[in-house]
Amino acid sequence: MVEKATFGGGCFWCLDAIFSRIIGVDNVTPGYGGGVFLNPTYEDICLGETGHAEIVLISFDKRVISYTELLEIFWQTHDPTTLNRQGADIGTQYRSVIFTHSDFQRKIALKTLPKNAVTEIADSTIFYPAEVSHKDYYKYNFNQGYCQMVISPKLKKFTATFHDKLK
């Protein structure tokens, strides 16, 4: 049975690279949500004035991986205690956010929320898919500086911690 989860925790390239490697995850789509600007583009988001966050929409098979397990990965692969930033990525577009798709998801997100977390938990919002070039960005741009400096170390930590969840 396929369900959806929507998370934002810094740059969506990182989240896409992590969640696309998990068993039971059928698809990860980078995009934008939580703002007031209609049909935002990457350039709009980068200005930090639209109210949107960089997010990923995850389709997963709950018979293979649970929402709780996805949250565990989410909490451990970014810093939910920093407001509007992840590392050198600064601005509201990089905020830690969970857009829930049901009362169950809201309940589990609140229950698992780490101490001192500043993560926004809100009802699902309009999801605007990002430009095609952002899908699988790490896969196709592995040697790019940001990928080497930021995403590769996150993936190394992720694969060591969650090796039993990898495809």
- Looking at the annotation, which residues are catalytic? 11
CA of residue 66 relative to chain centroid, distance: 16
Phi, psi of 149 (to 5 degrees): -80, -35
* C-alpha 120, offset from chain centre: 13
Q: Quote the Cα angle for 23-159-78, to 5°.
A: 95
Q: Tokens 């969506």 identify what position? A: 12
- β-partners of residue 91 are none
Q: In whole angstroms, what is the distance from residue 2 CA to residue 4 CA?
A: 7
**Do residues 93 and 68 make contact, with C-beta atoms less than 8 angstroms apart?**
no
Q: Where does residue 125 rank: exposed (0-12), middle (13-18), buried (19+ CB within 10 A)?
A: middle
